[in-house]
Structure 1
Amino acid sequence: MDTRGFYDELAERYDLIYADWDASITRQGRALDTLLTAALGPGPHRVLDNACGIGTQSLGLGALGHRVTGTDLSPVSVARAAREAGRRSLTLPVAAADMRALPFADASFDAVVCADNALPHLLTAREVGEALAETRRVLRPGGLLLLSTRPYGELRRARPQSAAPHVHQGPAGRTVTFQLWHWHADGERYDLELFQLQPDGDGWTTRTSSATYWALPEEETAEYARRAGLADPLWHAPADTGFHQPVLAARRPSAS
């Protein structure tokens, strides 16, 4: 399944990955807002949530007053993000767009967020470089990139075969989500199979989706950011930010 198909198919049940999606929206929004305001001041800021999915980070940042625009490769996902914003009386313009070709003018945003392990869907150095160059282009001089991925330096050494299951308790019962990982021979890329078990009468319905990732270690991701013209890349650990993944912060130089 290609990346767009993966998220198109998953969009209507993506929230079931979380034990409490609303709590995650709030927690992630606050963590990213802390990083934004530390770097750029109190705002509100013009933020592009690049690879916004169904809106987890967009909704959290919008609720804190930032002027957020959401883009994602999946039109089904951005449509749901817009609906979720409407339910919360938030303004969230959205567009289906590839992060390698963003439909915005130069210097349109104070900050770009690319969270939840989205960049590693790009499987070659050229694609990663194109995406980060587009990020730099749409940032204003002095603007901020916040990029989160899994801690791939550690994961490439350990090569885990699975991720721990998550349980969502809903009105119809519990939904269980878990992942199996199948590492490629190169030791860098892996295929992920995502399983969701949903209650169905006295039994279960199993839904599966699959996608491929490039497990770029933190120092390599930072180097790609430098090559794209972003300055001072620095990783922030989850223990320091409250965000669930390491977050790379980098700036478009003020003089560019």
Structure 2
Amino acid sequence: MSSYNVLAEVYEWLISDAKLAPAEFAASFDDVLSLLPSNAHVLDCSCGAGQLAVGLAGLGMHVVATDASEAMVRRTAELSEEFGASVRTVRADWEELPDHFDDATFDMVFCVGNSLHHAEGARGRVAALESMSRLLRRGGRLVLTSRTWELVRARGSRLDISDRLVRRNGRDAVVVYRWDIAPNWEDEHHIEIAIAQVDPAGSVLARSELLSSWPYRYDQLEAELHRVGLQTEMSTFNLEAENYMVVASKV
């Protein structure tokens, strides 16, 4: 988990401009949020630096934010304090969630930010989805976003270098992704993320982290959702799109 703790220090350069402001991040889910009852109880179980959790709390929801990284949870708590938002934060990975919350606690669970591929293989992924499903009330919904791994694997191992500087808090950086695509779907893949921060004097401070990844096909994800008692209501999956969203309800 140390890699994810270090990643928290450069996370601000990895999220898009549109998701930096909590209110705007939450607004990107307006369609699914309209399905919630008033005073809904919501879990963001891959909270990252907290932009979505804080945005949801700003809408008057009862929000819990969890992450496997202690550093990410700390960042979320700091952002909550900055915005005066009421967000309960808990360090927990997906499989630990039932240790912290009763079954059928939440009206909606968010697992966004392309995080599910960090679950270790099919067994780890199903265990993570099972935990999320357990915490949903009957009729509650899981909102999940994912990379289109069919597209990622088709491109093969490669180096992706951003074509512009990313500016955060008056600092500029170049973001680099190195994709190490394994021969088989079920094999462990690797993504190395490097941030090259450029200061006004021209000096460069570089940080990089190597993360493990276990990709999955869309039809495999659909089958696994069904296996844990979730039925797909809506999907934006498109083989030519970089990312997609799935909304699945607790049967």
Asked whether the two chains share a fold, i.e. TM above 0.5, the reply is: yes
Displacement over 6 Å in runs of 4+:
none
Q: Tell me, yes or no, if the aligned pair for 1:18 and 1:167 is still in contact at 8 Å.
A: no
SS across alignment from 2:246? strand
* Other-structure match for 1:93: 88
Equivalences for residues 130-149 of structure 1 within 5 A = 130-149=127-146
Structure 2-normalised TM-score?
0.88
Q: Does 1:173 align with 2:171?
A: yes
Shift, 1:23, TM fit: 4.3
Shift, 1:36, TM fit: 2.6
Structure 1-normalised TM-score?
0.86
How many Å separate the matches in 2 of 1:171 and 1:50? 26
Distance 1:197 1:21, change over 3 A: farther
SS across alignment from 2:94? coil
SS across alignment from 2:183? coil
Unaligned runs of at least 5 residues, structure 2: none
Distance 1:156 1:16, change over 3 A: closer
Q: Tell me, yes or no, if the aligned pair for 2:153 and 2:181 is still in contact at 8 Å.
A: no
Unaligned runs of at least 5 residues, structure 1: 239-243
Amino acid at match of 1:196: I
RMSD value, Cα:
2.2
* Other-structure match for 1:229: 229
Q: Tell me, yes or no, if the aligned pair for 1:18 and 1:24 is still in contact at 8 Å.
A: no
* Other-structure match for 1:241: none
Q: Tell me, yes or no, if the aligned pair for 1:178 and 1:195 is still in contact at 8 Å.
A: yes
Q: With CA pairs under 8 Å and 6+ residues apart, which has the higher RCO, 1 or 2?
A: 1
Shift, 1:110, TM fit: 0.3
How many Å separate the matches in 2 of 1:156 and 1:234? 24
Shift, 1:160, TM fit: 5.4
Shift, 1:214, TM fit: 1.5
Shift, 1:19, TM fit: 5.5
Of 117, 120, 124, which residue of structure 2 is paired with 1:120? 117
Amino acid at match of 1:50: C
How many Å separate the matches in 2 of 1:128 and 1:96? 19
Distance 1:129 1:151, change over 3 A: same
% identical aligned pairs: 27
Distance 1:223 1:198, change over 3 A: same
Amino acid at match of 1:235: S
How many Å separate the matches in 2 of 1:12 and 1:112? 25
SS across alignment from 2:197? strand
Shift, 1:58, TM fit: 1.0
Equivalences for residues 40-59 of structure 1 within 5 A = 40-41=35-36, 43-59=38-54
Equivalences for residues 1-256 of structure 1 within 5 A = 4-18=1-15, 20=17, 23=20, 25-37=22-34, 40-41=35-36, 43-102=38-97, 103-159=100-156, 161-165=158-162, 167-170=165-168, 172-187=170-185, 189-200=188-199, 201-232=201-232, 234-236=234-236, 245-253=243-251
How many Å separate the matches in 1 of 2:183 and 2:170? 41
After superposition, the C-alpha distances for 1:55-109 in whole angstroms (9 at most, x for unaligned) are 1221222222222100000011101101101100101100100101201001110
Shift, 1:11, TM fit: 1.3
Amino acid at match of 1:206: A
Q: Tell me, yes or no, if the aligned pair for 1:19 and 1:167 is still in contact at 8 Å.
A: no
